[in-house]
Amino acid sequence: MRRILVWFRSDLRIHDHEALATAVRKADEVIPFYCFDPRQFTMTSYGFPKTGAFRAQFLVESVENLAVQIRQRGGKLLVAVGHPEEVIPRLATEHRADAVYAHKEVTDEETRVEDALETQLWKQRIPVDFFWGHTLY
């Protein structure tokens, strides 16, 4: 039985989500997952919060909406708080995932997280596939 963990990041929708669609085609079981990374709720070097109150509320509501959409289709969104590069390898092991899929991000901070995640998953021999999901055609 092939299991794929799909890590939702900034694209919190199921419609037209390439990583999710590919996982559904390739896996017997898809495990959707969202991680609240505490680094996104710290202060910037200029003394401003990275995520203000309104943005945080929008994020929480978006994750709740994603969970409802997934539940309506018979699934369950796993949600955790922590550094994704630490949480995801643990979840992948617990759920015996064969791969991890996610959308590729572009900022330095996000790509460093991707690199760290790939390093950790490589140690477990679990491939991670990133999909480009930010281009409009």
DSSP state for residue 106 in the 8-state scheme: -
What is the pLDDT averaged over residues 14-41?
Answer: 95
Q: Give one DSSP letter per residue of 37-73, joined into a string.
A: -GGGGSB-TTS-BSS-HHHHHHHHHHHHHHHHHHHHT
Distances (CA, A) of 70 to 18, 27, 86, 129: 15, 16, 24, 21
Please answer whether residues 71 and 79 qualify as being in contact, where contact means their C-beta atoms are separated by less than 8 angstroms.
no
Banded pLDDT at 133 (limits 50, 70, 90): confident
Q: Token pair for residue 31?
A: 């495990």
Q: Is 57 helix (H, G, I), strand (E, B) or coil?
A: helix
User: What's the pLDDT at 132?
Assistant: 87
Distances (CA, A) of 29 to 3, 10, 13, 72, 110: 5, 23, 19, 16, 27
d(CA 36, CA 84): 8
User: What's the pLDDT at 114?
Assistant: 95
The amino acid that residue 28 corresponds to is D
User: What's the pLDDT at 135?
Assistant: 58
User: What's the pLDDT at 2?
Assistant: 96
User: What's the pLDDT at 16?
Assistant: 87
pLDDT more than 90, % of the chain: 87
Characterize the bridge pairing of strands 78-81 and 3-8. unpaired
